[in-house]
Each structure stands twice: as structure tokens, then as C-alpha cells.
Structure 1
Amino acid sequence: MRNVVTLMAMSVGIALSPSVFAADAVTHPGKAPLERQTLPARDGFASMGAGTTGGAYASPSRVYDVSTRAELKAAFDAAGDEPKIIRVHGTLLGNANDSGKPLSCEDYAQGTGYTLERYLATYDPAVWGWDTEPTGGPESARVQAAENQRRTMLIQVPSNTTIIGATPDASLVGLSLRIDGERNVIIRNLNHLAVSDCFPQWDPTDGSAGNWNSEYDMVQIINGSSNIWIDHNYYSDEPDFDDLSPSYFGRPFQQHDGSVDITYGSDLVTVSYNRFENRDKLMLIGSTDSPAAGDPGKLRVTIHHNEFINVGQRAPRLRWGQADVYNNHFVRNDDARVSFGYVFGVGYDSHIWAEANAFTFSPSVKQERIIKHWKGQAITTKDNVINRRKVDLLAAYNAQAPADLQLVTDTSWQPTLRTRIHPAQAIPGLLKRRAGPVMTLGKPGKRFR
């Protein structure tokens, strides 16, 4: 029986009380304890360079068990960039104070002067117009309230960290993880749920009809972060699904942003064996069409053996980088809670290689909508199947695209960092058993690959 580290919230700050932990040697993933497993060799871009080990080499005093937001933050702050293992137990609330009391949107707005009613009355396009973004008192109050929420529910993840669910039901609810300029991070076996922005901003200049824009990705990887492994997690808006949200000014009041976004020169990421369900935005890879953001030559991401169930868009949407997208299962039913946009977004100077993916689509979803043109020029699609039938996705897209939006096969690169490619027809059954949180610490289950 291993001893663990207990984090105790005190009335003034957080005191850490580590006890002895008999650390096993880091070996092959099938033999090491789950929390000390490392990304296997050649398992995607995150295996490049020094590889991705997270906190596998943590000393006994750097292994923490947490169940509250305050404990999680205290563990990150105490260990700094030293290798560390954070084991999450139960339901961890992101919108909660240091004593664990849940916080509401009204709590964040208290003292700022923000109310949604005042905001709507001030920036109604019939009053404010369509040509200028909101400014003035109500917008300033919104910004202040939003900052109160950000300081609470957004947590910075330091380098050399493994954060892992202790059981398959371990959950981060309303908590956003930010990896900002860090390296060597592993996030595994966690349910990421209900990350909602209390204070979306109205922008009448966004598109032809304006839009509500929100903050807070479930996992945000930014500013040159590298060697990140996202594995066996679950991502959903439940219970705050988009179709339950109201509309204002004729546009959905959007309170959700991305699932795993990778931007601003970040690099060498592997996303494997996760399940994404009933979310609109999945993975935005690349910041803008401008090279000034530092994206050219970066943004190398491997996306394999994930399930995407009734999602809307960005699986992924890519600019600049290289995305190896293979052996994923995309499911779309008529009872989905979000509308369907597209799967692969071919953005500016992007290089997506989509191979041996399986699509299980209802007849209402047209195969030519799987690819969307976002100023890109090329994409490779190979050995993909729709409802168990092999389909040339690029040819299907080009058959209905106008001449100025046609795409060509990308001949600029070929992925090499793969462990195994399964036949596309086998992927639905395989991932039904293996995707998402399936592991319990100390008891590596037969379902873990």
C-alpha cells in the first residue's frame, strides 16, 4: 500500500503535508504505475526531443492527492517546475473559493456594477449600432466581473507535471487548465466538464450578424509550450449544453470555448484516446493567419484514437502546422445537441494528414461537409471510411467546391511517429472500449492499451 500526500486547506493559505511514497521505477507504460507512465517512444509529435515524461520522476515529496481547486493550485505552486504528480479525487470544482464553497456568476459580478439586463439594454444593436465593439461603463463592468472569474477558475499548469484522475470518475468541473510557455506536461484520465464563461462579450462586428464570444478552453496550450500529452480524458459541456442557452440579438449566448486549443507557437503535442462529446468547438491549432504570432514551423500535433461524438467543428481546425490525424472515430447522430459545421478545417498554410479514420454518420450529414476550406490549399486523406465504406474525402469535398476553393493532395510531408495503425473499420469497436477515462490508480485495467 502506497502512502500519499495530503493537501490540507488551512484558514490562512494551504499547508502541504507530504508523506513517504515508495516510487516505482519508470519503465514501459504497461509496467509502471499509471501516474508514473511516460509517453511511449514514437507515439506522435510529443515523443520528439527529450520526449514527454511529465512528473514521472517526481520525488516522494512531490506526489499530491487533491480534491479541491485550492489544493490543486497549492500543489502546483509548491512544486514549481520540479517533477510532480497530481492525483485528482472525486469532483473538483473550478468555481469555488479557497474554502470549497461554490461560486456563482452573481458572486463574481458582485460589486462590479455588471448585470446582463443593463448590458443588453446598452449594446442592443438597435441602440448601439453594428459598427463598433462595446465600450463604456457596462463593458468595463463586464471586464471586471470576468476577471474575477478568471482569477478563480483558470489554473496555470507548470512544467514537468502529470495531472491524472485517481479513478475514471475524477472530474474537473468548471475549471480551465492553462499551459503557458511550459514544457513536459501529461494530462490523463480526467473528466473535463461544464467550463462556462459567465460573462461573454457581444461583438456586433464579428461576422455579418454579430456574435457572443467567450473565454476559457478546457485545456489551453499557448506561448511556445511543448511536449504535451493529452490522453484518456473526457470532454463535455454537461450539464450546461449549448442547446439550453438563450439567444440575444438573434445570436446564441455562447458561454463555451475550445476543448484542447494549441496556439501561439506551441509545439509537439500528442492527443490520444480521449472522448469528446456534445461540444461545439474541439481543437483550434494556430492563432491567426499572421506569422507574427510565432506559429510558422511549430504546431506539430498528433491526434489519434480519439472519439468525437456529436461535435460541431474544429476536429481539428489548423493553421500553419502539421496535424497527423489517424485512427479516430467521428460519430454524428440526428439527436446531437450541437449543430454540425465540419470536421477538418484546412486553414492558412496548414498540413493535415487524415488517415484510417472512421465516420459513423446519419444520412443527414453529407460527406462533402467533412472538410472545410479556411484559406488553406492542401490536405491528405487516405483510407478513411464512412459507415464502414471507404470514401475519398478530398474527392468528395472537391466535387462540390467552387473552383477558387478547391484543395489538392498535400505532398510536403508524411507522418512517421506512430506506434500502430489499425484498420479504419476496426476503430469504432476498439474505441468504444478504450477511449476516455478507463483507469484506476494502482490497478492498470485490461482496457488500458
Structure 2
Amino acid sequence: MTLLRRHLLALAGLSALGGCASAPHALVEAPETPLGWASVGSTTGGARAIPEHVFDVHDRAGLDAALRLGDKPKIIRIHKFIDLCPGGVEAFRDPEFSFDAFDRAFDPATWGRDDPKGPLEDARKRSEKRQAEVSVVRLPSNTTVLGVAPGAGFQHGMVLLDKVSNIVIRDLRFSDAYDHFPEWQPRDNGHGEWNSEYDALSLRGADRVWVDHCHFDDGQHPDKLEPIRLGQRVQHHDGLLDITNGSDLVTVSWCRFQAHDKTMLIGSSDSRSSDEGHLRVTLHHNHFHACKERTPRVRFGRVHVVANLFSAERAEDFGYSLGIGANSRLYSEHNRWELPAGITADRLIRRLKGSAFTDRDSRLNGQAVDILAAWAAAHPGESLSADVGWRPDESYDTAALRPARPDQLVEQIRAGVGPRRA
């Protein structure tokens, strides 16, 4: 019996052999151990927490109080859908900042393609800083965060794992990490882009992390509904789950990612050579629905994408799934795609300065496909090796990741992803 189960049984007033609860805490079954790369790091989260360090949290104040424990092992049980950034744009807007004035000042037709600077940009940065001070929640090491009630989770903010270790996150909804003051970068993509600051969940230099049975979305504010400013649609959301800055030994399992553009980044820069040897990530049994791209986009990492479902109902909601970035070593197997007619197998991947990719047992709309061969046929003269230089079974047990019933995998994923108390 795990330490976590013992502690929760004790809190519930139960013995290991059964009994009746004498305390208000509901029994939560002990979590399974993670599969994939997080198993290599012995990821336990707050399993060694003493009973006094198990917290039932219903609001932001309770969350902040639990986090003040720092790196001591702790279990945080979330009961509500907590708004991390209440109040809206006017709660954070600097008095000297105006959206209309900003657009007039930095219109490329008059300003050009130089970066914004001056009082208006300074006021935007002050506004952004005010929002960040409220909306960013930093998890310390040796922490387990569990959703224990329907709809439990976080909205309107970013949960950040920055240079921490040994985190377990389960059964939570992460929604609408909305940046009120996105940055205008006039040379991005050649025509300029709006770029936001917040991911719903962000790993930066974090290791031994397990994210399991969670749901990620943009809530009621998808970027496709935002207005056009400075010639481009405003982006108020960044990634749903980004894994960057040398993060390592991470497993993401049984999660649903819903209706987003740039969904998951693994590795932040082609030039960040210090990421070499890190960014070891396993994605298994996740469902990416109507996620246009980056599911994931990989740089440097040894990433195992196994037994996931990628789906879209409209062709405009799909760009590509697996991004093969610089120095990436992406190993794909047993994945399933359910996409509109006309989307061919070569479009399931996109080469983004990468040189190798391997895949086996993929199916597109129920039919077996050879992704690498399809890509090669569609890109004559380009080279993409099937040798990524590693195999998952050399690093951890892969038997439990292989579908026992391949023909039922799609239904199994659809039925099993997301918070189990939703």
C-alpha cells in the first residue's frame, strides 16, 4: 500500500481493511504509478506528506496557503473551479494604456516593423506585469494536486512549474489562460503576430512530472473569435501545456486537449543547445480534438507519442499533428487519427528543421498508413530518416502502453480521457 493511500485512509478515518469515515475527507484511491519517462524518475509528488500537509482547497486563498508549505511533501485536493484572475481587463490596465492608442501608434503602415517602444508599450508592460502577479500560480517541488469534485480546476491563469521537481497533477480542468495584454511582435512570421504570455500549464526546467486525466481548453474565449488588430487576429492564449527550458522525465496521460491552435511545445528554441539530453517526454492515451497544430511540436527531446487520438470535424481545425523540430527524436506508435476526408497521411507530420522521425501502427480513419512514406512521396528531394537513435523499450517498460485491443483503442481513449469526477 502506498504512503498516499495510507494518509488518505487515515484522513478518512478508515483502516487499510475497511471501516467507516469519521472525518469529512472523502476517500481518494491511491494513484497508479506513471508509465513512460516519468516512471524513470520515480515521480511520486506529495505521496510522503504527513496528514497535516493534506489540504482541501475551495478557493484561491486556500490554494495560496497550501503552497506556502514550499518544497515539503504535500497533497492539495481541489474542490472548485478556481478563478485565478478575477476582475477582467480593467482590474489590471495601467491608466496610461489604451488599446486604440496603441494600434494607432504602432500601425505598420506608419510605424514600420520596428519593435514597439515608448510610453504606450511601457504602459502595456506594466499592465501585463500586474496581471501576472495575480494570475500565475507557482507549484513547488514534491506536490500532488488532485481534482476531487466535478469541475475542479483552474481558469483565467497559468499554473507554472519553474525549476521544480517531483510533481503529480491529476483530474483537473485547465481553462482560458487569457492574457489581456498580448505583445505585438511586428516581424514575427514576416507580417507580425500577437503573442500572449500564458500557457494553461507550463513546465520550465521542471523534472519528474506526471500530468494525468486532465482537460485543457480556452473556455468561452477562443482566439478565433477575437478581432483583427494591426492586420492580424489577436492571440490571447499561448499553449495549453508547454514543456520547455530543459524540463525532463515527464509523462502526460489520459488528457483531453480541446479546440486550440498551438497546443503543446516541447523545447522552446532551435538555438537552446542546453536542452540536449533533456526533454524526455511520454504522451500516451491523450485525445487532441480540433487542435490545429503542435500536438506536440518537438525540439531536441526524445519524445514517445504512443496510443493517442487526434481528431477534427472540420478541415480548417487541422494543420498538422506532430512537429519534427531541430534535433528532435520523436518516436510515434499506435496512434489514431479521425479527420475529415481529403486530409492525407503526409499531413499528419510537419518537418520543422528536424531530420528524423519514426512511426509504426498508425491508422487514419481506420486505415493503416505509412506516415513516413507518405511524407516522402509528398516532399520529393527532401530527406527524413526513420532512425531516431533510440527506442522507448530501452529506457522503460512499454508493454502497458501497447493497446491490448487495437481495434478498440479509439473508443477506449474517448471514454477514458479527462477528469474522472467530471
Q: TM-score, normalised by structure 1?
A: 0.85
Residue 107 of structure 1 corresponds to which residue in structure 2?
91
Separation in 2, partners of 1:260, 1:23: 37
Change in Cα spacing, 1:36 to 1:118, as seen in structure 2 (3 Å) is: farther
Is the Cα–Cα contact under 8 Å of residues 331 and 388 in structure 2 kept in the other structure?
A: no
1:272 and 2:272 correspond? no
Which one of 37, 52, 61 corresponds to residue 61 of structure 1? 52
Is the Cα–Cα contact under 8 Å of residues 165 and 209 in structure 2 kept in the other structure?
A: yes
* SS of match in other structure, 1:363: coil
1:365 and 2:343 correspond? yes
- Output the amino acid matched with 1:124: D
Which one of 308, 311, 314 corresponds to residue 328 of structure 1? 308
**Offset of residue 34 of structure 1:** 3.8
* SS of match in other structure, 1:310: strand
Is the Cα–Cα contact under 8 Å of residues 168 and 190 in structure 1 kept in the other structure?
A: no
Provide, for residues 354-381 of structure 1, a one-character-per-residue CA deviation record: whole Å limited to 9, x for no partner.
1000111111433221111110001011
Separation in 2, partners of 1:209, 1:169: 40
Alignment of 1:261-410 (within 5 A): 261-292=242-273, 294-334=274-314, 339-404=317-382, 406-410=383-387
- Output the amino acid matched with 2:33: L
**Offset of residue 38 of structure 1:** 4.9
More displaced 10-residue stretch of structure 1: 419-428 or 429-438? 419-428
Is the Cα–Cα contact under 8 Å of residues 173 and 216 in structure 2 kept in the other structure?
A: yes
Residue 145 of structure 2 corresponds to which residue in structure 1?
163
* SS of match in other structure, 2:208: strand
Is the Cα–Cα contact under 8 Å of residues 259 and 282 in structure 1 kept in the other structure?
A: yes
Separation in 2, partners of 1:222, 1:25: 40
Separation in 2, partners of 1:227, 1:256: 26
**Offset of residue 309 of structure 1:** 0.6
Separation in 2, partners of 1:35, 1:140: 50
Residue 145 of structure 1 corresponds to which residue in structure 2?
127
% identical aligned pairs: 38
Alignment of 1:42-53 (within 5 A): 43-49=35-41, 51-53=42-44
Provide, for residues 93-133 of structure 1, a one-character-per-residue CA deviation record: whole Å limited to 9, x for no partner.
011xxxxxx3111110043x111111111111112102x11
Is the Cα–Cα contact under 8 Å of residues 38 and 56 in structure 1 kept in the other structure?
A: no
Residue 436 of structure 1 corresponds to which residue in structure 2?
418
Provide, for residues 378-402 of structure 1, a one-character-per-residue CA deviation record: whole Å limited to 9, x for no partner.
1011000011110011111111114
More displaced 10-residue stretch of structure 1: 425-434 or 209-218? 425-434
* SS of match in other structure, 2:378: coil
Is the Cα–Cα contact under 8 Å of residues 357 and 424 in structure 1 kept in the other structure?
A: no
Alignment of 1:179-258 (within 5 A): 179-223=161-205, 225-258=206-239
Is the Cα–Cα contact under 8 Å of residues 94 and 124 in structure 2 kept in the other structure?
A: no
* SS of match in other structure, 2:66: helix
- Output the amino acid matched with 2:107: D
Is the Cα–Cα contact under 8 Å of residues 46 and 229 in structure 1 kept in the other structure?
A: yes
| Structure 2: segments with no counterpart, 5+ residues | 1-9, 17-25
Residue 156 of structure 2 corresponds to which residue in structure 1?
174
**Offset of residue 247 of structure 1:** 1.2
Separation in 2, partners of 1:397, 1:33: 50
Separation in 2, partners of 1:279, 1:237: 7
**Offset of residue 175 of structure 1:** 2.2
Separation in 1, partners of 2:30, 2:411: 28
* SS of match in other structure, 1:311: strand
Q: TM-score, normalised by structure 2?
A: 0.90
Is the Cα–Cα contact under 8 Å of residues 66 and 72 in structure 1 kept in the other structure?
A: yes
Residue 21 of structure 2 corresponds to which residue in structure 1?
none
Is the Cα–Cα contact under 8 Å of residues 36 and 57 in structure 1 kept in the other structure?
A: no
| Structure 1: segments with no counterpart, 5+ residues | 1-19, 27-31, 96-101, 441-449
Provide the alpha-carbon RMSD of the alignment.
Answer: 1.9
Is the Cα–Cα contact under 8 Å of residues 94 and 175 in structure 1 kept in the other structure?
A: yes
* SS of match in other structure, 1:82: coil
Separation in 2, partners of 1:35, 1:211: 46
